[in-house]
Structure 1
Amino acid sequence: MVRAQAEPVTLAALVSLSGLHANTLREHLDGLSRMGLVERHSAKPRGRGRPAALYQATDNDLEPMPEYAGLAAALAATIHRTSSAPSDDAADAGLEWGRDLARARGAAPSRSEVVARREVVALLEELGFAPRTDSRVSTVRLTRCPLLEAAYRYPEIVCAVHRGLTQGALAAYGGDPDNVELIPFAEPGACLLHLTADSAG
């Protein structure tokens, strides 16, 4: 979302664009800043009070450390070789991971399905998936994969983990995980993630 802005943007503007609570966005922005993906600086003073903080994406791309990418590939290979239901086992692992990630970010069930979906998209952005979505957050284009090489080799495992991750996080934020459908490599340069029943094929 920050990367899509042509100019540095305020927290208030991001709240308006995303529909997320300011505290939630601030936590995500702090995380992206620690990862070197977002810079924060102050706007020029206007009258009294503290100048607004401006956020801008850096030129850095989030790439997994080679050893972690290698570890992911090794784990996927092990599941592929030893599991009688590799896709199901991978999805279960992703489900737990998604719940843990959401809880670590202070997830609380939302009364709005749209807000819950926006929280998940914000999490996916923080994880490096570069999500692009519509206004209802019903269909999400994942334009980057942090584990692309492993996903090409073991799509039924790596993509199942990512589907489970989305389901676990969505459930933690109060959304309906049963509506999640992930279509790997659905179009050039992107996977498609459906978060609502009417967006799924």
Structure 2
Amino acid sequence: MGPRPARTAGGRLVSPSRAALLETLQAQPEPTSLPALVAATGLHANTVREHLDGLRRSGLVARTPAPPSGRGRPGWLYAATPRSQEDPRPEYAGLAAALAAVIARTSPEPSEEARRAGADWGRRLAHDAGAAEGGDAGARRQVTGIFEDMGFAPEPDADDRELRLTRCPLLEAAHQQPDVVCAVHLGIAQGALETYGAPADGVELLPFVEPGACLLRLGTAS
């Protein structure tokens, strides 16, 4: 039951679709245009562009202007960076498990302390991700994007109220200390929603509730 481990590239967590796009770029002998990547992956251009932006933020992809060709603004060419080829060796996952064990052993309220820490983290992530547009629905979409960038490979429903988290960047730690690790992830969602001015009271995380996923609920329908 529950999600699979998150994929990594260059020491950074990436979703399966983002990792597949990165692998496509790594196989190219020269920088590649957006239309060529759309043709190679079969994804919508907006989806490819979104993934490329996320990979650029992580330092895994670089872009350069394409040579001018006729009228109009030149496009961009994309290439995987040397960093994307690095051996990730995510030793930090062991550190996270150790810290979760310490919190569980020493704190009188381990879940609440972990949730508060996660909320602080979520506020920082929301600030870095930029403003959300479109009211509460836009805030939920932005939170979905934050969990995508973190490597959870979320599968949202139609209005981003319920996300299936199909991968976990700290799977082993979550198995060992779910009250702590999963509370941090819950806090991230709450802190991010609060930063965007959206209600966070109805947020809940249901760990390992179905084969291949945890469920993150970002509020009930009004």
Same fold (TM over 0.5): yes
Cα displacement (A) at 1:35: 3.3
- Residue 187 of structure 1, aligned match among 206, 210, 213: 210
User: Is the Cα–Cα contact under 8 Å of residues 91 and 163 in structure 1 kept in the other structure?
Assistant: yes
User: Is the Cα–Cα contact under 8 Å of residues 64 and 147 in structure 1 kept in the other structure?
Assistant: no
Local SS of the residue matching 2:186: helix
Counterparts of 1:74 and 1:138 in 2: how far apart (Å)? 32
Q: Is 2:114 aligned against 1:100?
A: no
1:30 aligns with 53
Q: Look up the equivalent residue of 2:42 and give its one-letter code.
A: E
Q: Look up the equivalent residue of 1:123 and give its one-letter code.
A: I
Return the index of the structure with the highest Cα Rg: 2
1:144 aligns with 167
TM-score (norm 1): 0.75
Counterparts of 2:202 and 2:123 in 1: how far apart (Å)? 16
More off after superposition, 1-10 vs 70-79: 1-10
Q: Is 2:105 aligned against 1:75?
A: no
Counterparts of 2:111 and 2:172 in 1: how far apart (Å)? 17
2:42 aligns with 7
User: Is the Cα–Cα contact under 8 Å of residues 109 and 174 in structure 1 kept in the other structure?
Assistant: no
The 4+ residue runs of structure 1 with deviation greater than 4 A are 36-43, 51-57
- Residue 153 of structure 1, aligned match among 149, 153, 176: 176
1:17 aligns with none
Counterparts of 2:58 and 2:206 in 1: how far apart (Å)? 28
Counterparts of 2:187 and 2:137 in 1: how far apart (Å)? 19
1:18 aligns with none
- Residue 135 of structure 2, aligned match among 112, 115, 118: 112
Counterparts of 1:77 and 1:2 in 2: how far apart (Å)? 29
Q: How many residues get paired?
A: 184
User: Is the Cα–Cα contact under 8 Å of residues 80 and 86 in structure 1 kept in the other structure?
Assistant: yes
Local SS of the residue matching 2:167: coil
- Residue 170 of structure 1, aligned match among 180, 193, 204: 193
Cα displacement (A) at 1:81: 0.5
CA RMSD of aligned residues (A): 3.6
Structure 2 unaligned regions, length at least 5? 1-14, 19-37
Counterparts of 2:79 and 2:158 in 1: how far apart (Å)? 22
Cα displacement (A) at 1:163: 0.2
Counterparts of 1:196 and 1:56 in 2: how far apart (Å)? 39
User: Is the Cα–Cα contact under 8 Å of residues 91 and 162 in structure 1 kept in the other structure?
Assistant: yes
Counterparts of 2:199 and 2:92 in 1: how far apart (Å)? 31
Q: Which has the higher contact order (CA 8 A, sep 6+)?
A: 2
Structure 1 unaligned regions, length at least 5? 15-21
Q: Percent identity?
A: 54
Counterparts of 2:118 and 2:197 in 1: how far apart (Å)? 17
- Residue 158 of structure 2, aligned match among 124, 135, 142: 135
Q: Is 2:89 aligned against 1:89?
A: no
Counterparts of 2:156 and 2:74 in 1: how far apart (Å)? 31
Deviations, residues 127-184 of structure 1 (Å, cap 9, x unaligned): 1111111221111011110000000000010000000001001111222111211100
